[in-house]
Amino acid sequence: MKEAVENLAETASRVLSGLGEDPKALDQARVRFLGRKGELAQLFKQLGKVPEEERREIGRLLNEAKSRLEEIFEQAAQRSRDLDAARREAIDVTVPGRLPLLGRLHPITQTALEVCRIFNWLGFEAVEGPEIELDYYNFEALNLPKDHPARDMQDTFYISEEVVLRTHTSPLQVRVMEKRKPPLRVIAFGRTYRRDSDVTHTPMFHQVEGLMVGQGVSLGDLKGILSSFVHQMFGPDVALRFRPSFFPFTEPSAEVDIECVMCRGKGCRVCKGTGWLEILGSGMVDPEVYKHVGYDPEEVTGFAFGLGIERIAMLKFGIDDLRLFFENDLRFLDQF
């Protein structure tokens, strides 16, 4: 028993010497040796088993060991407190603090805001609509009946036979015309979905749809509005052209190309040597669409256009891979 008491004091001293100044480790060691269930307490419990003639001597040794351990632990705790105070005094409170990283608008958001700002300036009102859309609004009311071959171009996500994830923001044309009478001039910005994914396509992307309906609205108005938009977005010196195309809900239809922003029309890999880049589709609203909303095609005319925000952002910022917008790489996003 006497040897056990002496070994306990030596063990405690050795453990303390290896702890350094860690307050947490020091507290754990105190519990190990001086706690209610610690090693010293266990020796006190065994005192009753010691022969009576040795009990007084062993008790004295245990009390001395307890006093010694308490002193050793108090000295170690004081050293830890002194070191902590020294460290606090070493802090230079005059050093400027580290500023938190500030968030920035995503390049897609920046581009969308700029597009909407331009069309707001041109007199277009922003409207919103559902991303989960009825097949009727997404296709049928836009002159795309069930058996129309152009539906294959959409690569649609079907939720059910009559419900889809909208493939374009064009359904808002019909929704707005159902609720309002002409004249009207609106734009719709939002997410759209198609089953497509490569360097120039993603399953989810953003579109801005524009619609203007009234008496005497002509193809000349369409060209004037879109020319003004292109020159404000890409600069007054950028050339553009209107190229005949086909869309089921507009007739006549045209795609708008701009002079390649990479090579300035000389021909490069981005424009495939043509010197031109397609940026949006447009056309005069097909009279068949008016029949679904109760407009008289003999009384009103109008035009619609749609553009992809990612496409505009790629051209504006000189980005050659659409997927970079969605990978959340801070090295890429910090450039904007």
**Of 126, 102, 99, which Cα lies nearest the Cα of 113?**
126
H or E element, residue 287: helix 287-293
Task: List the helix and strand counts (H, then E) for the chain.
Answer: 11, 9
Say if strands 184-193 and 125-127 run parallel, antiparallel, or are unpaired. Answer: parallel
Beta-carbon contacts of residue 81 (< 8 Å; ≥ 6 apart) = none
Residue 103 Ramachandran class (φ > 0 left, ψ -120 to 50 alpha, else beta): beta
Measured at the CA of 207, the angle between CA 204 and CA 209, to 5 degrees, comes to 150
Task: Say if residues 303 and 212 touch (Cβ distance below 8 Å).
Answer: yes
Residue 198: both structure tokens together: 């490569």
pTM of the model: 0.65
User: What is the pLDDT at residue 202?
Assistant: 77
User: What is the pLDDT at residue 195?
Assistant: 81
Query: Residue-wise pLDDT tens for the chain (336 aa)?
Result: 666 666 666 777 776 666 666 667 777 777 766 777 777 676 667 666 767 677 777 777 777 777 777 777 777 777 777 777 666 666 677 878 888 877 888 899 999 999 999 999 999 999 988 999 998 998 889 888 887 776 766 688 889 888 999 988 999 989 999 999 989 999 999 999 988 766 556 788 899 999 999 999 999 999 999 999 999 998 888 889 999 998 888 999 999 998 887 777 788 777 788 888 888 999 999 999 998 899 999 999 999 999 989 889 888 888 877 788 888 888 888 888
Tokens 């869309």 correspond to what residue?
247
Helix (H, G, I), strand (E, B) or coil at 103: coil
> How crowded is residue 133: how many other Cβ atoms within 10 Å of its Cβ?
24
What Rg value do the Cα atoms of the chain yield, rounded?
39
**Per-residue DSSP letters for 32-98?**
HHHSTTSHHHHHHHGGGGS-HHHHHHHHHHHHHHHHHHHHHHHHHHHHHHHHHHHHHHH--TTSPPP
User: What is the pLDDT at residue 223?
Assistant: 93
**Of 215, 216, 238, which Cα lies nearest the Cα of 226?**
238
Residue 207: both structure tokens together: 């579109």
User: What is the pLDDT at residue 127?
Assistant: 92
Residue 157: both structure tokens together: 């996500």
> Residue 186 carries which side chain, given as an amino acid letter?
V
